[in-house]
Amino acid sequence: MGQALSFGLTQYDVEELKDYCDGRFTQSEIEGLYRRFRALDRGRKGFISSEEFSSIPELSINPLHFRMGQMFNHVNFKEFALALKASSKRASREDRLRTIFSLFDIDNDGILSPADLELMVRQLAGSSLSEEDLKIVVDRALKEANASDAGLTFDDVARALEGSELRMEVEMPVDY
Amino acid sequence: MSGLRHRELSQADLREFDYEVSRTKHSANRESKVENTIEDYVVKSEEKRLSKESSSLLRDLLDISPLVQDAAAAIVDDSFLRCFQSQSTDPWNWNIYLFPLWTVGMIVRYLILFPLRLIVLLGGFLIFFILFSAVHAIFKSDRVRRSRWEQSLVQFQCQMFVASWTGVVRYHGPRPVNRPNHVWVCNHTSMIDYIILCAYSPFAVIMQLHPGWVGFLQTQVLNCLGCLWFNRTEVKDRLIVAERMKAHVQAADTTPLLIFPEGTCVNNEYCVMFKRGAFDLGATVCPIAIKYNKIFVDAFWNSKRQSFTAHLGKLMTSWAVVCDVYFLEPQTKLPEENAQQFAERVQKMIAERAKLQVAPWDGYLKYYTLGVKHPDLIEKRRKVFGERIARYIRPQPPPPSPARPPKPPTDAVNGTEGARQRPVSRATT
């Protein structure tokens, strides 16, 4: 009985999570995220389904929501926190690049193949780019990076985004 | 920052996201307003990005950070789900002398109070049903007297309900009376809102038809008050209800009509968008504000998590349900107002009295996904990205920002001005 019951995370859990996310979150942020996670997890299943995910109205009108739904499908809290690491204000540039890379890397093989890029650009641009244009765009992009036929590596992506600010920091809910 | 910007967008979208009956009437100008706001939003953030010199297709393609930021902001916090959050109870039974007290409390509540209350409630039902059928048999042809009896019986049963949770209800303001061309609107926390109001003075209500014994009561008993039932996801049902609502309000000898314009239960901390239906009737609107005190029990009915029976069980095993009911000053639509603005004004009144925060969301979003119902909202944002990328592969230089008609400085903003304020304060560290 007591606090542990109502909150569900022990100090030990919080510390483990802090390490798992490389210290990007403070204890109060982890608490806030945990409450948020439990609010999203309607049936108290311990994970979030993609339907619950798309029930967030603001997210459902984001061109990335499909891909995000894929990445966040059936995540438990640990994965949930890790996936949000790049949006912490303590995130490194590397964290943010990794997040972008993994969003593009749909088949999760560590390289952005032309197929990956095509799928993502289709998500991002929708019907405003025709199929032919899409092929040309992907071709051009790969050529610009001097990439091999296999596609873009993480280093290619990092080089291409050099100098971009990559702002993705959000305020974590501490009062949830 | 991003949260702020984000919220502004969703606000405006949702103004539009309204499936009321007279949709077609206003849809034309409302849509353009929304489009303006969204375009404004999208274009502004794009212009910001474009202002930074960039001539790399690859970079433009890969830099999706604004979208990630938006998505993350929505994932960690959104004002919509906050409206439907039950209060979590802090345990206080953690120490050696509080624990026995707590146990005694539990025993009293579950083993003494609950059975007693159940007897009161069921006894009430028994008397109610016997008299109800008797009244029907006796006054078969005398409609006026029958309905007077029926009203007092329903009121009696509602009082039994309130007694079964030891309701401590304080009513403020003048008692509502039946007058033609008046309609009562109230914020909605649980179905018990209706019971609490009816225990004071009988109302006819417009409500979602529920399954099970609640549905039985709705269709068999409450029909006598002229209550209207519908299925919220059926557009056809809503049309019929709108017609009958009009007829009901105009008739002189009917029970006062009560409408919950939020259309769904909210946790009594927030107040979601008021639907225009009640404000389109041309009737005088009498606002009612209900504020529950959560000291013993949270009266919010989270219909996705529990059935109404379970909800009643929760109330009946608590010490008491404490609430204040305020009957506020009747309002009429001002000549320069449209129905939406009128609804917003009344919403603000109720929210102020009941100390609720106004949120811009349509409560019906609980039942469907915004993106699925409004794919155009995603398409808009996609188009900006597409056009930006297309610059690199088309020979002719396209304009630096998507062309759009110059926006009138105040007109388009007027309607959404109130909504532009950040609805939900967010504590900052």
Quote the mean pLDDT of chain A: 85
The Cα of A78 is separated from the nearest Cα of chain B by a number of Å equal to 14
For A146, left (φ over 0), alpha (ψ -120 to 50), or beta? left
Q: Do residues B124 and B160 touch, judged by C-beta distance below 8 A?
A: yes
Average pLDDT, chain B: 78
Is residue A30 in a domain? yes
Q: Chain A interface, mutation test: which of B61, B84, B264, most A Cβ atoms within 10 Å?
A: B61
Question: Taking Cα atoms as reference points, which of B352, B325, B17 lies closest to residue B186?
Answer: B325
Name the residue facing B386 among A61, A87, A128 (closest C-beta): A128
* High-pLDDT (> 90) share of chain B, %: 32
Q: Is residue A148 part of a domain?
A: no
Angle at B380 between CA B374 and CA B382, to 5 degrees: 110
Distance from CA of B279 to the nearest CA of A (A): 26
Contact A128 B67 (CB under 8 A): no
The interface pTM score, or ipTM, of the predicted complex is: 0.88
Residues of B within 8 A of A168 (CB-CB) are 65-66, 68-69, 72
Lowest mean pLDDT, pick from A79-83, A163-167, B7-11, B218-222: B7-11
Average pLDDT over residues B331-339: 91
pLDDT in tens, A1-44: 333 334 578 888 889 999 998 889 988 889 889 988 888 887 78
> What average pLDDT score do residues B288-295 get?
93
- B contacts of A59 (beta carbons < 8 Å): 71, 74-75, 78
Q: What's the pLDDT tens digit per position in B169-228? A: 999 999 888 888 899 999 999 999 999 999 999 999 988 888 889 888 888 888 888 888
Alpha carbon of B208: minimum distance to chain A alpha carbons (Å): 21
Average pLDDT over residues B67-89: 81
Domain that holds residue A16: 1-91+168-176
A6/B91 Cβ within 8 A: yes
Q: In this predicted model, what pLDDT tens digit does every residue of B99-112 receive, in sequence order? A: 888 889 999 999 99
Q: How far apart are CA B259 and CA B230, in angstroms?
A: 13
What the block records as the tokens of B399 is 């304009």
Task: Look at A164 and B74 and tell me if their CB atoms are within 8 Å.
Answer: no
A159, part of any domain: no
- The CATH number given to whatever domain includes residue A8 is 1.10.238.10
Bigger pLDDT: B269 or B51? B269
- A174: which chain B residues are within 8 Å (Cβ-Cβ)? 427, 429
Closest C-alpha to B274, from B351, B199, B198: B351
Tell me the shortest Cα–Cα distance from B313 to chain A, in angstroms: 20
CB contact under 8 A, B3 and A170: yes
Chain A nearest CA to B11, separation (Å): 10
Which parts of B166-234 fold into alpha helices (H)? Answer: 192-200, 212-220
Question: Between chains, do B73 and A157 touch, taking CB under 8 Å as contact?
Answer: no
Cβ–Cβ < 8 Å for B57, B392 = yes
pTM higher than 0.80, yes or no?
no
As a whole number of angstroms, the distance between CA A146 and CA B295 comes to 66
- Among all residues of chain A, which has the CA nearest to that of B362? A57
Residue A173 lies in a domain: yes
Q: Are strands B182-186 and B284-293 parallel, antiparallel or unpaired?
A: parallel
Assign A45 a pLDDT band (cuts: 50, 70, 90).
Answer: confident
Over residues A44-69, mean pLDDT: 85
Q: Which of A39, A141, A170 sits opposite B73 (nearest CB)?
A: A170
Task: For strands B257-259 and B228-230, give the pairing.
Answer: unpaired
DSSP per-residue letters across B22-42: THHHHHHHHHHHHHHHHHHHH
Measured from the Cβ of residue A107, the count of other Cβ atoms closer than 10 Å reads 11
Contact B91 A3 (CB under 8 A): yes
| Res. B163 pLDDT band, cuts 50 70 90 | very high
Q: Could you give the CA distance from residue B391 to residue B399 in angstroms, rounded to a whole number? A: 9
Average pLDDT over residues B317-325: 93
* Structural domain includes residue A112: no
Q: Judge: A128–B382 Cβ closer than 8 Å, yes or no.
A: yes
* A55·B369 Cβ contact <8 A: yes
Identify whether the C-beta of residue B266 lies closer than 8 Å to the C-beta of residue B303.
Answer: no
Using a CB-CB cut-off of 8 Å, the residues of chain A touching B305 are 42
B393 Cα to chain A: minimum distance (Å): 7
| Residue A59 placed within a domain | yes
Q: What residues of chain A lie within 8 A of the CB of B379, using their CB?
A: 126-127
In a domain, A96, yes or no: no
Instruction: Give residue B408's pLDDT band: very low, low, confident or very high (50, 70, 90).
Output: very low
Asked whether residue A97 is domain-assigned, the answer is no
What's the token pair of residue A169?
């920091």
- Contact between chains at A121 and B389 (C-beta distance less than 8 A): yes
Q: How confident is the model at residue B79 (pLDDT cuts 50, 70, 90)?
A: confident
| B169, containing H or E segment | strand B167-172
pLDDT at B172: 94
Q: How many domains does chain A have?
A: 1
Q: How would you label B200-234 residue by residue, b for 16+ Cβ within 10 Å and e otherwise?
A: bbbbbbbbbebeeebeeebeebbebbbbbbbebee
